[in-house]
Amino acid sequence: MGCIKCISVWVTLVVMIIGCQELKQDAPIDVKELTISQIHKAYEKGTYNSQQLVSAFLAQIEEYDRKINALTFINPDALSLAKQLDVEYQRTKVFRPLHGIPLIVKDNINTKGLPTTAGSLALQDFIPDEDAFIIQKLVNAGAIILAKSNMAEWAFSPMHTESSTTGTTRNPYNLEHVPAGSSGGTASSVAANLGVIGLGTDTGNSIRGPSSHCALVGFRTTLGLISRSAIIPLFLRNDVVGPLCRTVEDATKVLEIIAGFDPADPITKYSEAKIPDNYTQFLIKDGLQGSSIGVLRELSNDHPDPEIKKLFEKAILDLDSLGAQIKDPIFIPGFSSLRQNQWCSEFRKDLETYLAEYVKNDTLKTLEDIIKVGSSSEFTKEQLKFYANSSGRYENPDVECLDAYTDVRRIAFREAVEKVMDSLELDALIYPSWNNQPASIDSFEVEYKGDNNQIIAPHTGQPAFTVPMGFCKDNLPAGLQFLGRMYDEPILIRLAYSYEQGTKHREAPKIN
C-alpha cells in the first residue's frame, strides 16, 4: 500500500534537485497560505518562478504528507510543466488565469498519464488516456497538477477518508481526528499548504464536509453548472465537482474556469445563458450590506455541540454587524417530510457506465468484478455488498429516480425552499455545515453526528458554500454554510466573501 506514491515522490524529488541546480534563488519560498493573486504578483516581480514554487511545494509535501497521508501520487512532470509555463511567460509577459498554480486533484477525476483509482484495488493500475473535461480547462488555464489526493474508497464515506491504495488521511489541525470524507485528501492537503487549490466531488457532503473540518472554503455549485464527465461516480444524479480552497477568491477563480457546458454531461445544458461573464466581479468586500439572510433553525438546533452552537450564534452576530438583515428563524412548510425519501441507489449503473466508457477492461465490467478484486477496508466491503443488491429509491421504489430538474420529489423540495426564500426576499439561508466537531479517527462511526450537508443541496440541486466559522477546543475547525437558489453562485460568492473578509477565521494548521 502506498508504493506508487513512494516511487512518485522519489522520482519527483530527484527531478526537483536536478532542476533546482539551474535556478537561482536567495531565500526559500514560504508557501504558507499563498493565494493565486499573491503568486502571480511574485511571478511578475521576479521574486520566484513556477519551477521554484513547485519545488517549494514538493519540499512541503515531503516534510508534512507523511504525517497526514493526504496524497496518493505526485506528478513527476510537475517541474517540466512549470518550466514550460515560465518560458511562455518570458516570451509573452501574459499570465493565463491560473498560470503556474499548483493543483491537487481528487483521485476519482481522470487525469491523463496519472493513476485514477477512487482509492480502490480494482483500479489501482488504471491510468486514463485523456483528462476529464474540467481538468482540460484547468490545464489550459495554466494550472499545474501537482498531485492526486486520497479519498474515501469509491467515495462511499462522508465520515472519514480511508482507501485501499493509500490508507487513512488525518486532519492536519488535529491528527487524532478525521477530515471527513470523501474528499478528505484534497481538504487536508490544501489546508496543510501542500498545494494552492484543490478539486473534490460532493454527492451529499464530500466537498463541504471536509472543507468545514479543515477550515477551508468549499463550493458545492448548482447541479448542471459544472461537468462531471470522466469522473468516477457515486450517484451521478447527485454528484458535483468543485473547488476546495483556502480563500473565497481562489475558489471563485477556479469556478470561473470550470463552469460551463460539456456535451458529454447532458445536465450541463441547463447552465446555458445562466453563467455570467466572470464570477470574480462578485468578490465585494461589503457584499453583506443590504442583504437578507434567513436562519434555518430546524438544522442548526438539531442537537448541536455546544461549541458549534456558540460559533454559529457568533456568526449570526457577525453577519448582522457586517450589514446583513437577519431573519431568525425561518420555517419551510413540510420540511421534515420533504427531506425524506430523496436518496436513490444508482451506484451500479453509474459505475458500470464509467467502466465501459473509460476503463475498457474485459475483467472489470461489472460491480461483481469490483467485488471480486476486493478491498482492504471492511467498511468498503459492506458498502459494495449493499449496492450489489440495492438499486432505486430507498423508500417508495415506484417513484422514479431522476435528475434535479425532472425528479418530482426533488422539484417539490426545491420549490418549497425557494418559495420561502422568495416570500421573505432572502438572499440565502444559513446553518452550520456540521453541528458536531470532527470525529476521532478511531471512532468515526460512533461519533458521526450533525452532518447538515446531506439534507438539502444534494437533493434540490441548489448551490451551498461553506466558509470557515472559527475553531472549537483541540483546534478543530467549524464551517458556516450559505444555501442559495439555483444558479445563484454570484450572490453566494458576494455573501461568503464579505463574511470571510469581515471575520478572517482561516488559520493554517500547526502540524506536529
Please state the domain extents for the chain. Answer: 288-341+403-460+471-476
Q: Which of 206, 291, 375, 433 is catalytic?
A: 206
pLDDT at 24: 53
182 is catalytic: yes
Structural Rg of the chain based on CA atoms: 21
pLDDT at 5: 59
Q: Is the dihedral of CA 366, 367, 368, 370 positive or negative?
A: positive
206 is catalytic: yes
Residues 6+ apart with CB under 8 A from 45: none
- Give the whole-angstrom CA distance, residue 501 versus residue 195: 22
pLDDT at 27: 78
Residues 6+ apart with CB under 8 A from 161: 150, 151, 152, 168, 169, 178, 179, 180, 181, 182, 183, 184, 185, 188, 210
Q: What is the pTM of this model?
A: 0.95
For residue 103, what are the β-bridge partners? 145, 197
CA dihedral 297, 494, 254, 464 (to 10 degrees): 20
pLDDT at 394: 84
473 is catalytic: no
- Give the whole-angstrom CA distance, residue 351 versus residue 348: 5
- Give the whole-angstrom CA distance, residue 405 versus residue 398: 18
Q: Which of 106, 137, 148, 253 is catalytic?
A: 106
Mean pLDDT of each 10-residue bin along the chain, 512 residues long: 50 47 67 98 98 98 98 98 98 98 99 98 98 98 98 98 98 98 98 98 98 99 98 98 99 98 98 97 98 98 98 98 98 97 95 98 98 97 95 88 97 98 98 98 96 98 98 96 98 99 98 88
Q: Which of 182, 189, 212, 291 is catalytic?
A: 182
